[in-house]
Amino acid sequence: MIIRQITQKDYPQMAYIFNSIYPYYSYTEEDIRFEYETEAKRTNLKAYVVEINGEAVAIAEYYKSWYKTTDNRNIIGLGIYVDPRYQGKGIGSYAYEFILKEIIKENVKSVVTHVLNSHIHSINFLIKRGFYEIYSYYELELYLEKISIENLHNQCKTFENIEVISLKEEKELDKLKLYELIKTIYHDMPSPLLYDFPDFKEWQESFLIIHMLFLIPFL
* Better-predicted residue by pLDDT, 33 or 70: 33
Q: Which long-range contacts (CB under 8 A, 24 or more apart) does 67-71 make?
A: 67/112, 67/191, 67/193, 67/194, 67/195, 67/196, 67/210, 67/212, 68/193, 68/194, 68/195, 68/196, 69/109, 69/110, 69/193, 69/194, 70/192, 70/193, 70/194
Give the other-Cβ count within 10 Å of 203's Cβ. 17
Whole-number pLDDT of residue 218: 42
Tell me the pLDDT tens digit for each residue of 121-177: 999 999 999 999 988 888 777 777 777 777 776 777 667 777 666 656 655 567 788
Is CATH 3.40.630.30 the classification given to domain 2-139+207-217?
A: yes
Tell me the percentage of the chain whose pLDDT exceeds 70: 85
Nearest in space to 214 (alpha carbons), one of 192, 196, 189, 183: 192
Tell me the pLDDT tens digit for each residue of 24-57: 888 999 999 988 998 888 889 999 999 999 999 9
Nearest in space to 79 (alpha carbons), one of 118, 114, 116: 114
Tell me the pLDDT tens digit for each residue of 182-194: 888 888 888 888 8
